[in-house]
Structures are given as C-alpha cells and as structure tokens.
Amino acid sequence: MNRSLLFIFTLFAFNNALACQFDDVTFDSDFSMARLDSCEKLDTHQYHIGIHPENEPVNPSPWYSFKVHSKQDATVRLKMTFNGNYPRYFPKISYDGVHWQGIPFSTENKAMWFSINTSQKPLWVSAQEVINNAEYEVWLNKMSALTANAKLELLGNSEQGRPINALVQQTPGNHEWLVVIGRQHPPEVTGAMALFGFSEAILTDKALQQRFSQRFNLLLVPDVNPDGVEQGNWRHNANGVDLNRDWKKFAQAETRLVRDKLASIVKAGGKIVFAVDFHSTYHDVFYTMPEDYPIAPKNLMNDWLAGLANNTKWAFKANVKPGSNPDNGVFKQFIADQYQVHAVTYEVGDNTNRQLIPYVAQQAARVLVDKLLATGEKDFNLKP
C-alpha cells in the first residue's frame, strides 16, 4: 500500500479528543457514551477504527460509538479492531441517535468489517443503541410524575461527581420493599431496556400499581454507573472497577450509596423482600441463588420464573442458572447474604428482539407482583 495514504490519529483516553479528520471524512466522539480510540486511513474511503478498553484486565465487551460525516456522499468501508479481542456487539447505525438499525458486517480473525453510506449529515455508528445518563433523568422524572407516592431522591454522587438518582415509591404504612437496580456495566443496553419495561409495568399500569402499592414499596436505581456510561466504558466505573464485583469490599462510591440506602430503609423499620439487577449478556438468562441457599421464602424464585415461562412460552425461553460465590462481590449475593431473601441477575441477550424485551419484562413484573402478594409477610423471614 502507498504509505502516503496512511494517516494515523490516536485519540486521548476517555474521549478527550473529539474528532479525527481526514481529507473528506470526519469521525467524531463528542457526545455522551462515545468511544473512539484510533483512526487510520487505509485507502480511499477505507479506514481502520481501533477500540480500546478503559483499563485492563477487563471483561472483553468492546463498546464503540462514534459519528461519521463526509463532505460529499460516499460509501465508506470500515475495519474495526478491539485491542486483540473479538467483537461482541453487531454494528448499528442511526441518523438521530434514537432510531437504530443493524447493518451487514463480516469478520476476519478478530476484526470486523462493514460499509456505511456517509454524507454531510452525521451518521451514528454504535455497538448498541445509545441510552445515556440524560435519558435516565428524563425517564425518572416522567415515572415520578405518573406514579402516586413516588419521589426522586439523590442518593449521592459517583466517583466523578455525577448524581446517582433513585425513584422511591413508598406508601404510608408499607414496610416491605422491592429493590430494582441497573446499568452497573455501561454497554449492557438491552438490560436497560428490560428495566424500563419492568419498572413501567409496576409504576404506570394503574391496576398493577394499585395492587402492588397496597403492600409494597419500590426502590429503583436504574443507572448505578453514570461515569462508565458517560465515558463509553466497556465494563468499569471511572476508577477501573467492575461494580458488580464490589458488593463485598464496597470500595466504590456507587455501591456504597446503594448499600447505605438499603441500610437506612431497614433502620427505619423496612424489610427488603426481593431484588432484581438488570444486565445483558450473550443470551437470555436468569442468575439466581441455589435452591438450598438460606433465603426466604424457599420457592418464591422458582414460582416466579415458572409463572413467567408459562406466560411467555409461545415467544420466549430463558435459561435459569443458580449459583453462589460469596467472594465474588456480586449484587445478588450481597442481597441474599445481607437480607436472607431472593435476588436475581436478570440478563437480556445482546441481540434479543427489541419488541420482545419490554414484553417479557412487563410479564416478569406482573408475575412477580402476583407471587409477592401471595406470599405472607412472615414467609420472608427465615424459619428458626
């Protein structure tokens, strides 16, 4: 290849540089959740994009998100590499950052190739749909306005000073609490979609909300890792820590804030009865505690997942994987050990149908409320 065609622009970590510009094509990373680490011109309208993790070691979940525009309409061919890792997410494009579509791609060794049509109008290219911190703020305000006895509460600030916001839906006289958290891992957007569907069913379905709030309160913390989300991290928070391995050490502000809120609920006479932590992985799976683990009530998790399977069997099938590792520091283990009740890591497949995700999550919420209401208050305590 003619070396005169080769230009390399290496961006500073955490998107400090905003663009890499060639003769007629510009790649931008000047937006929330962007990740674009290096740009290299290989040939006319052919470029190499390099994506690097925030730090290492790291779970190999390469997140990428950037914008492209050109002075003239062009078909641009991109090669993407991921710091020696295989790609996890299939490329998607958008002209507005809201509506997304997948595009054809191919792989060669650990590189991914695809073509895009560019123009003067910026085109978004992203590993998954972009759901950033600002969208959580808008959504939380909307949910609190639609739900009786709901309020927004600032739990505190992240390691870099971003707000960790919670929606607290509490009915006077109720002291049993359902806990819902999400987005510990920044790229796990399908988990965020499921959290929205699950929470909206409880908060805005009038019949379901009325039944739920007659007995239970809700603590909802949808965006636990706003620093990682903002920076487009693969996995970690601003300090390079996997938050879902920090629920034993509590070395990070984000986990401490949620821990302390739960402790304050119990101190005020509340009882944590169930917790759901939304994530994404390669396929739909529910990570639960083992059936013989000392949590109560014994059959609640199985009854919930069996009811969900029955309601969605025509369209959906998820794996259930029980497991316990007290030293891993994951949220579900913390809940089980600290409060002796069930918790689940609700994992949504990266490529699960986008219409199916909210449907299943809504069904999951409805079945769970039914099962919780059918459980006596004393049954949430371990028998002596």
Question: Which pLDDT tens digit goes with each residue over 59-89?
Answer: 999 999 999 999 999 999 999 999 999 999 9
Report the pLDDT value the prediction gives residue 384, as an integer from 0 to 100.
56
Rounded mean pLDDT, 161-171? 98
Residue 34 has pLDDT above 80, yes or no: yes
Contact 290, 322 (CB under 8 A): yes
**Cα distance between residue 241 and residue 195, in whole Å:** 23
Question: Which pLDDT tens digit goes with each residue over 325-368?
Answer: 999 999 999 999 999 999 999 999 999 999 999 999 999 999 99
By DSSP bridging, strand 7-10 and strand 111-118 are unpaired
**Cα distance between residue 304 and residue 338, in whole Å:** 22
**Cα distance between residue 106 and residue 248, in whole Å:** 41
Residue 217 has pLDDT above 50, yes or no: yes
Domains 3-126 and 133-380 equal at CATH topology level: no
Q: Return all residues near 132 (Cβ < 8 A) that are at least 6 apart.
A: 32, 33, 229, 230
Question: Which pLDDT tens digit goes with each residue over 277-331?
Answer: 999 999 999 999 999 999 999 999 999 999 999 999 999 998 999 999 999 999 9
The domain ranges of the chain are: 3-126, 133-380
Report the pLDDT value the prediction gives residue 7, as an integer from 0 to 100.
38
| CATH, domain range 133-380 | 3.40.630.10
Residue 263 has pLDDT above 60, yes or no: yes
Sheet with 111-118, side-by-side order of all strands: 7-10, 38-43, 46-50, 74-81, 111-118, 106-108
Report the pLDDT value the prediction gives residue 382, as an integer from 0 to 100.
87
Across the chain, mean pLDDT equals 94
Does domain 3-126 fall under CATH 3.40.109.10? My reply is no
Residue 4 has pLDDT above 70, yes or no: no
Q: Return all residues near 88 (Cβ < 8 A) that are at least 6 apart.
A: 60, 61, 62, 127, 187, 282, 350
The answer to pTM > 0.85 is: yes
How much of the chain exceeds pLDDT 90, in percent? 93
Contact 308, 276 (CB under 8 A): no
How much of the chain exceeds pLDDT 70, in percent? 95
Rounded mean pLDDT, 38-60? 96
Report the pLDDT value the prediction gives residue 11, as an integer from 0 to 100.
41
Rounded mean pLDDT, 155-159? 98
Exposure of 30 in the CB half-sphere (CA atoms within 13 A): 9
